[in-house]
Amino acid sequence: MSIDACIAHAIHSDLDILQVLPELKGMPVESLEPYIENYILTVQQDLRQVIISNGDRFIRAKDAAGLCATCMEAGIGIPPKMLLKMCQTILQLSTIDARFILDTEDGTSLFYVRMGLDMREQSTQAA
């Protein structure tokens, strides 16, 4: 996937907008959409800039923590735990090659997908 698609997916799946912007609770409803849209566009642009300028080595090394630290140093104002989850999602999706093929007659989209899988067993320890 392109880095833009990876970032967009990470924002969609991992960003808790109410946790990041608690001031939304007190805003008038008509102000919410433009405020949130502006915030998300800014985050997407900032993440893209940081990843393109300083993130390649972390993506190649599959180092989500390093990418997260780089984003934090660059001033991305997302709580560390949430930002780390977003960086993990970006790294996972960056190994997937997906291409749109066509929309079927019933409206289903068909994609070609190639992805790398790490089949090594991961040990988990009970806390």
DSSP letter for each residue of 18-49:
HHH-GGGGGS-HHHHHHHHHHHHHHHHHHHHH
Facing residues of 96 across strands? 115
The predicted-structure confidence for 35-84, as pLDDT tens digits, reads as follows 999 999 999 999 999 999 999 899 888 999 999 999 999 999 999 999 99
- Which pair of structure tokens corresponds to residue 70? 């780089």
pLDDT of residue 121: 56
Whether the per-residue pLDDT at 126 is higher than 50: the answer is: no
> Which is nearest to 89 in space by CA: 118, 104, 68, 110?
68
Q: State the DSSP H helix or E strand holding residue 97, giving kind and residue range, or none if neither.
A: strand 96-103
Facing residues of 109 across strands? 103
Q: State the DSSP H helix or E strand holding residue 110, giving kind and residue range, or none if neither.
A: strand 109-115
